[in-house]
Chain A
């Protein structure tokens, strides 16, 4: 986490000098998940009692900017592979973000990806999602964002959802703080 200091120095240089330009942040959310081995999640349908359908909430280091900053764009780009072991049905991969760790899964997902799966096949589902809600966009101004993933299955299926990429592109207008 010590590299945060470098972020701050760079942010300052940008704040002092970038005039009317934008600050574009490319956050590799996947790296934070894979670092904690939380990029893979088994799914089973119907879900037996006691089997988790979520990953433990993970921490993503974000921007740490003042709330007066104007967030122009928050966009998620990535891909998830559904490695289906058995059965035919559909799988939904939902991604949650929150500013509080214990409420990550209490709200609605920020976005979700669904795919139809067949026995023994791997289905790749790329996604490219713009976040429209201004309040949700503001969340990424915080220095820490918590992320969670839930996978739900429809039909008698089992397999593994493997996230292969998840990047957040956050564009801040010229007023950084």
Chain B
């Protein structure tokens, strides 16, 4: 029984961890460039997110968009030293050994989601928070205290649309290629009863369903692409650039499940011998690799304007990207004490839709000063970065501010020193946890080659 409980707790904890609060932060700060971190995560010119989401930047010359950027950045992962100090015997550390009773997959997942590349200069304070459980044969009440703030009222989860590979060739601005695409989406929405029980400390009631809605989707394939990016007016110093790409999405496979998981209480809350009696109802749709390929059409567009020290860009990805899957199987599944599933339909047509992403960016570079801002939305809320850099001879100082998908404000600052073609950069960024307004500070370091 203990193992069942532990498995359940760990499993649910992993779901919360993977889908909850840390995910946006991880997505935002998956950056290894200390210079960029020092500017609050700002993307400049052809770096970072700008070139990914704005096809016009294929045509913007690197020189025009350099803003003091290095050609190559090599991260110095000082955080690994700290991590190894905290876990000196990693191979025998029970927390990382799945065969051990002390195995802690939440710690493992947290380590993976927040790779220990950076040095934790100041830990975000974790508030002391008691939680109270009142248990009787026919009563159950939980008071999570401040932790109840962690219980999400709205739908939460992780999702993304990525292009792991994008090979191709171009000529005079035109480009032909084949990109790989991957779309993943996992969502969880607590039901009202479960939410009240956890967040508002409402006692458990008889004959009540406590449940959560679940949704998961993963789809992948490739997309033959034709595109164009070019300067339609001006020169390399002052020009207006446009870019676009038309994708014919070919879906290799996808799977999707929607449903409900939970449990309903009976006449007496704690009665009988069965310790856990979950209920699940899901509808699963899938088109396996080897089935008839999915297909759809979508487009990216972007514009960029470079005028001396000013640069403005706007790009949108995956416009109208709806994938039609002509050979899908639908299964329903039920679980209540024991599980069974039955086919609903086969060889039917279903559709999935890639999220539309957009980015808007602004940069101003004059002399040794660079200022910039960008807004990125990948379908789950906007992330805003504002930052700048001032170069002073061999040295550079940087600062920036960011608003993440949770609408929390974080700060970045840092500096660098450059010797000829080699530079050393240090960037600091703040981060908060969900229970405290006090911030921790993390330090990133990297080498830059100019």
Determine if B350 is an interface residue (Cβ-Cβ < 8 Å).
Answer: no
Determine if B373 is an interface residue (Cβ-Cβ < 8 Å).
Answer: no
- Expressed in whole angstroms, the Cα–Cα distance for A46 and B111 within the complex equals 65
Interface hit among A61-69, A102-110, A123-131, A155-163: A61-69
Most buried by A among B128, B151, B268, B270: B270
Question: Given A65-B5, A142-B1, A18–B147 Cβ distance below 8 Å?
Answer: yes
Selected from B1, B134, B150, B204, the residue in CB contact (under 8 A) with A6 is: B204
- Expressed in whole angstroms, the Cα–Cα distance for A13 and B200 within the complex equals 13
Against A, the Cβ 8 Å flags (1 = close, 0 = not) of B258-274 are 00001111101111111
Tell me the smallest distance from the CB of A81 to a CB of chain B, in Å.
20
Interface hit among A23-31, A49-57, A84-92, A112-120: A23-31
CB-defined contacts of A64 to chain B, threshold 8 Å = 1-2, 4-6, 275
In contact, B16 and A28 (Cβ under 8 angstroms): no
> Which chain B residue has the least Cβ–Cβ distance from A34?
B137
Most buried by A among B10, B137, B266, B268: B137
In contact, B16 and A16 (Cβ under 8 angstroms): yes
> Which chain A residue has the least Cβ–Cβ distance from B278?
A5
- Expressed in whole angstroms, the Cα–Cα distance for A31 and B271 within the complex equals 12
Question: Given A1-B274, A18-B130, A19-B126, A65–B136 Cβ distance below 8 Å?
Answer: no
Determine if A136 is an interface residue (Cβ-Cβ < 8 Å).
Answer: no
Q: Which residues of A in the span 1-58 have a Cβ within 8 Å of any Cβ on B? A: 1-28, 31-32, 34-35
Determine if B219 is an interface residue (Cβ-Cβ < 8 Å).
Answer: no
In contact, B1 and A21 (Cβ under 8 angstroms): no
> Which chain B residue has the least Cβ–Cβ distance from A35?
B137
Most buried by B among A11, A24, A32: A11
Selected from B130, B132, B276, the residue in CB contact (under 8 A) with A4 is: B276
Selected from A6, A18, A19, the residue in CB contact (under 8 A) with B197 is: A6
Determine if B379 is an interface residue (Cβ-Cβ < 8 Å).
Answer: no
> Which chain A residue has the least Cβ–Cβ distance from B94?
A68
In contact, A10 and B138 (Cβ under 8 angstroms): no
> Which chain A residue has the least Cβ–Cβ distance from B11?
A12
In contact, A13 and B126 (Cβ under 8 angstroms): no
Question: Given A20-B126, A143-B5, A5–B210 Cβ distance below 8 Å?
Answer: yes
In contact, B264 and A28 (Cβ under 8 angstroms): no
Size class of the A contact interface (CB-based, 8 Å)? 35 or more
In contact, B140 and A2 (Cβ under 8 angstroms): no
CB-defined contacts of A68 to chain B, threshold 8 Å = 101-102
In contact, B6 and A2 (Cβ under 8 angstroms): no
Question: Given A1-B270, A177-B9, A7–B128 Cβ distance below 8 Å?
Answer: no
Question: Given A1-B271, A8-B5, A24–B131 Cβ distance below 8 Å?
Answer: yes
CB-defined contacts of A31 to chain B, threshold 8 Å = 136-139
Determine if B236 is an interface residue (Cβ-Cβ < 8 Å).
Answer: no
Determine if A152 is an interface residue (Cβ-Cβ < 8 Å).
Answer: no
Determine if B17 is an interface residue (Cβ-Cβ < 8 Å).
Answer: yes
Against A, the Cβ 8 Å flags (1 = close, 0 = not) of B1-36 are 110111011101100110010000000000000000
CB-defined contacts of A16 to chain B, threshold 8 Å = 13, 16-17, 20, 106, 150
Question: Given A6-B210, A68-B102, A17–B138 Cβ distance below 8 Å?
Answer: no
Q: What are 25 inter-chain pairs, A to B, with CB distance below 8 A?
A: A1-B269, A1-B270, A1-B271, A2-B274, A5-B263, A5-B277, A6-B194, A8-B5, A8-B9, A13-B148, A15-B13, A16-B20, A19-B126, A19-B128, A25-B133, A25-B135, A26-B133, A28-B135, A28-B137, A31-B139, A32-B270, A35-B138, A64-B4, A144-B1, A177-B104
Shortest beta-carbon contacts, A-B, top 7: A28-B136, A19-B126, A64-B5, A31-B136, A21-B129, A3-B269, A17-B147
